[in-house]
Each structure stands twice: as structure tokens, then as C-alpha cells.
């Protein structure tokens, strides 16, 4: 079967499209014939070695398709089931082995491209707004990269609970997409200082929560955007990792809270996974959540997909097709 493999960390050029043996499921595992693959920033972190992986490995952590075979003792899924998953390495391939307990059912009314496009980012938006910080009606949230893959879903999830959303974006085109998703105010950080704009928009009070996927270049100002006892939810680092930080600063800036969450810790067991994915697909079916798939690209061109993602040339999601 074909797969995108990495033999050593580096730029997009290290991705190789090659043949590897067909994998066989062991006890507790299922083999999924992949219909669609979600492209995520964590793939870049794995490729560059920021999040080290034992080489060689197959890239990708998100996919959707049909169960092709199951190992001994599997009760969660059966051959022929439509399924999706996230946070399991090896999805840039024609077939993938996945622990059966990590697979979730995909409703017939949700196509596999949409499922692959929303599992990781959609469940991220779910836990960010409902768990990492329990966003409430009347709260004000600042969402960085509001027109990105997670950003557009996060804006919609925040509006579902009745929060006021301020989004940061780099261009007017992205601003319009964030507005369409429901953002109340937009800051073009390429034209104005987002901290000053937030203070103006909140009459100096600051926001209840900042959802920051950017990291190094936004971290300090994100803290300064918060009102006393506000939350900085740092869930990514597209501009690079945050430098070592003195937690004493949190007291001086208003007894702030800082969390660095991961989806893995918000889907600790199958019950939690099914609850989040079930809510996600219900939102999609009802039209409350409208995922944006910007580009569908052949898997063999995965390097180009990563260049576009890394260069922040994307709005919404890139999906690969084996």
C-alpha cells in the first residue's frame, strides 16, 4: 500500500511517497481503509522533530474511512463500519491500524471528508469552549488565528454558548471568513496592535479568556489582554514554543490562569471520546457547526499541503485523499 513516510526530520521535502507492507490488526485493533485524511499543524511538529517521533514513521494523526478488518477481541466496531479517529499516528496512508476503542462512528449524513476534517479540530473546539475554560453566555473571548482550521470552528462553538468573540486575523479576506463564522469584532494584527484594540473593545477591562494557538509571538500580549482571574488557554505554537516563563507573573497581572491543554487529555476514555465526537457530529448535522474544507489534495502531494499550512496560506482545513 502507499503511504507518506519520514526517515529523518526536516522540511516538507523529507516526505516520501512510498510502498509499505499492508498492516494487520492485532488484538484490540482495527484496520481502516482510509477515505480522507485531515492535515493538522501537529503533522508539521512531527515532521520537523519539534515533537520527536521514532523514524521511519508514517505521518498524520487524523482520518476517516471504512473498517476493513478487526483483530481479536474487538467489540467496538465491525467490518464495514464508517468510522473516524484523531490523535493516532499513521493516517497519511491507504490503510491504517487504529486501536478499536479510539474509533468513533460517523453518521450516514456526514461524509468522510467532513469527518476527517473535523475530528481533531472540532473536538479541540469542543473541549476548549466547554472544558479547558467553561465559556458562558456573556463572556468575552479572544481567538487568535480566527480564520484557521481550529479558529473558524472555535468561533462557532463560542457563539453557540452566547459568548462575545473577538478574533485576530492577518488579512481582510480572513477577516470576512471569521465574521461569517460569527465573530463579533475582528482585529487585523498586521495593521494594528491587538492588545491595544482589545483594551479599546472591552473598555479597558480585558477578556475572560484568550484561546492562543500561535505561541511565541502572541503569548505575553495575550496575558495582558486578560481581565483579573482570566484564562490563557495556550493550545498551539504555530510561531514557535513560548520561552521559559516565571509563573509569578500570573499574580502580578491579575491572578491569571494558564493552561497548556492537549486533546488526548480531554478524551481520556472511550466514554469521553464518544461524548465529544457525538456532540460534534450532532452540531454538523443540525447546521450549528459548518466546517470549511478549503482544499482537497491528493495524498502524494502532501508536501505541498504542508507548505501551504506552514506558510499560513490556508483558511479552514486541508484534506488529503489517498
CATH number, domain at 205? Answer: 3.40.50.720
Task: Flag whether 11 is in a domain.
Answer: yes
Q: Are 90 and 156 members of one domain?
A: no
Q: Let me know: does 309 contact 318? Beta carbons within 8 Å.
A: yes
Domain count of the fold of the chain: 2
Q: Are 104 and 150 members of one domain?
A: no
Q: Let me know: does 38 contact 317? Beta carbons within 8 Å.
A: yes
Q: Are 51 and 113 members of one domain?
A: yes
β-pairing, 62-70 vs 29-38, is antiparallel
Task: Flag whether 283 is in a domain.
Answer: no
Task: Flag whether 183 is in a domain.
Answer: yes
pLDDT at 128: 98
The alpha-carbon radius of gyration of the chain (Å, integer) is 20
pLDDT at 273: 98
Task: Flag whether 31 is in a domain.
Answer: yes
- Residue located via cell numbers 490556508: 314
Q: Are 23 and 69 members of one domain?
A: yes
- Angle in degrees, 0-180, between the axes of helices 302-310 and 41-48, rounded to the nearest 10: 100
pLDDT at 111: 95
Cis amide linkage into residue 56, ω under 30° from 0: yes
> Which residue, of 236, 260, 284, is where some domain finishes?
260
Element (H, E) at 165: strand 164-169
Q: Are 30 and 77 members of one domain?
A: yes
User: What CATH number does residue 89 fall under?
Assistant: 3.90.180.10
Cell of 14: 523529507
pLDDT at 311: 80
Q: Are 194 and 152 members of one domain?
A: yes
pLDDT at 300: 97
Q: Compute CA distances 151 → 48, 72, 304, whole Å.
A: 23, 40, 22
The string of pLDDT tens digits covering residues 69-80 is 999 999 999 999
Q: Compute CA distances 8 → 4, 56, 152, 216, whole Å.
A: 13, 7, 33, 25
Q: Are 141 and 202 members of one domain?
A: yes
- Residue located via cell numbers 471520546: 273
Q: Are 8 and 56 members of one domain?
A: yes
Q: Are 7 and 76 members of one domain?
A: yes
CA atoms of 172 and 165, how far apart (whole Å)? 17
> Which residue, of 242, 260, 278, is where some domain finishes?
260
Task: Flag whether 129 is in a domain.
Answer: no
Q: Compute CA distances 5 → 16, 48, 116, 232, 298, whole Å.
A: 5, 13, 20, 35, 15
Q: Let me know: does 107 contact 118? Beta carbons within 8 Å.
A: no
3-state secondary structure of 170: coil
pLDDT at 240: 87
CA atoms of 61 and 229, how far apart (whole Å)? 35
Task: Flag whether 267 is in a domain.
Answer: no
- Supply φ then ψ for residue 48, to 5 degrees: -80, -15
CA atoms of 126 and 156, how far apart (whole Å)? 10
109 exposure class (CB count in 10 Å sphere: 0-12, 13-18, 19+): exposed
- Residue located via cell numbers 479552514: 316
Task: Flag whether 272 is in a domain.
Answer: no
pLDDT-flagged residues of the chain (< 50): none
Task: Flag whether 280 is in a domain.
Answer: no
Q: Are 6 and 113 members of one domain?
A: yes
Q: Let me know: does 21 contact 312? Beta carbons within 8 Å.
A: no
Q: Are 175 and 108 members of one domain?
A: no
CA atoms of 289 and 154, how far apart (whole Å)? 10
Q: Are 21 and 77 members of one domain?
A: yes
The residue range of the domain holding 62 is: 2-119+292-321
Amino acid at each position: 500500500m502507499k503511504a507518506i513516510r519520514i526517515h529523518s526530520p526536516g522540511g516538507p521535502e523529507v516526505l516520501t511517497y512510498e510502498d509499505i507492507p499492508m498492516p494487520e490488526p492485532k488484538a484490540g485493533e482495527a484496520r481502516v481503509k482510509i477515505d480522507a485524511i485531515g492535515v493538522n499543524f501537529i503533522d508539521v511538529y512531527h515532521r520537523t522533530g519539534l515533537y520527536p517521533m521514532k523514524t521511519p514513521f508514517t505521518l498524520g494523526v487524523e482520518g476517516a474511512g471504512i473498517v476493513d478488518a478487526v483483530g481479536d477481541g474487538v467489540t467496538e466496531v465491525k467490518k464495514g463500519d464508517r468510522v473516524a479517529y484523531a490523535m493516532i499516528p499513521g493516517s497519511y496512508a491507504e490503510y491504517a491500524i487504529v486501536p478499536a476503542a479510539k474509533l468513533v462512528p460517523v453518521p450516514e449524513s456526514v461524509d468522510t471528508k467532513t469527518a476527517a476534517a473535523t475530528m481533531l479540530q472540532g473536538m479541540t473546539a469542543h473541549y476548549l469552549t466547554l472544558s479547558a475554560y467553561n465559556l458562558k453566555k456573556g463572556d468575552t473571548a479572544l481567538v487568535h488565528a480566527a480564520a484557521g482550521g481550529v479558529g473558524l470552528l472555535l468561533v462557532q462553538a463560542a457563539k453557540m454558548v452566547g459568548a462575545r468573540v473577538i478574533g485576530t486575523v492577518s488579512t481582510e479576506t480572513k477577516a470576512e471568513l471569521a465574521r461569517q463564522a460569527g465573530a463579533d469584532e475582528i482585529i487585523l494584527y498586521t495593521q494594528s496592535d491587538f492588545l491595544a484594540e482589545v483594551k479599546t473593545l472591552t473598555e479597558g477591562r480585558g477578556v475572560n479568556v484568550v484561546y492562543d494557538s500561535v505561541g511565541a509571538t502572541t503569548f505575553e500580549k495575550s496575558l495582558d489582554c486578560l481581565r483579573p482571574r482570566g484564562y490563557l488557554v495556550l493550545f498551539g505554537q504555530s510561531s514557535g514554543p513560548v520561552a521559559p516563563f516565571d509563573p509569578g507573573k500570573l499574580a502580578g497581572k491579575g491572578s491569571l490562569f494558564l493552561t497548556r491543554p492537549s486533546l488526548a487529555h480531554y478524551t481520556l476514555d472511550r466514554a469521553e471520546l464518544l461524548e465529544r465526537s457525538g456532540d460534534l457530529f450532532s452540531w454538523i448535522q443540525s447546521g450549528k457547526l459548518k466546517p470549511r474544507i478549503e482544499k482537497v489534495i491528493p495524498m502524494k502531494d502532501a508536501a505541498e499541503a504542508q507548505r501551504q499550512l506552514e506558510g499560513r496560506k490556508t483558511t479552514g482545513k486541508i484534506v488529503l485523499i489517498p
